Amino acid sequence: QYAGAITRRLRERVQELLEAAQRAYPVRPKDASDTWWVPAHLGGTAPTPAEVRELG
């Protein structure tokens, strides 16, 4: 139970740090055709992990 709580909190914190790093990334897409590498939740067109799995 304790290990599960620690693991969940660690996952949450890593996710927070990842999102902060993505938002602070200094390079921006040049134009609409250059959004392939930006996550969709940040306005880009990069596929989600689920979409990548579907592509197989």
Q: Can you give the pTM of this predicted structure?
A: 0.68
Q: Sorting pLDDT into bands at 50, 70 and 90, what band is 7?
A: very high
Q: Sorting pLDDT into bands at 50, 70 and 90, what band is 56?
A: confident
Does 34 have pLDDT greater than 90?
A: yes
* Domain boundaries of the chain, sorted by first residue: 2-55
Q: Where are the alpha helices (DSSP H) in the chain?
A: 2-24, 49-55
Give the tens place of pLDDT for each residue, 14-23. Answer: 999 999 999 9
| Tokens, residue 11 | 């996952």
Residue 5 near residue 12, CB atoms below 8 Å: no
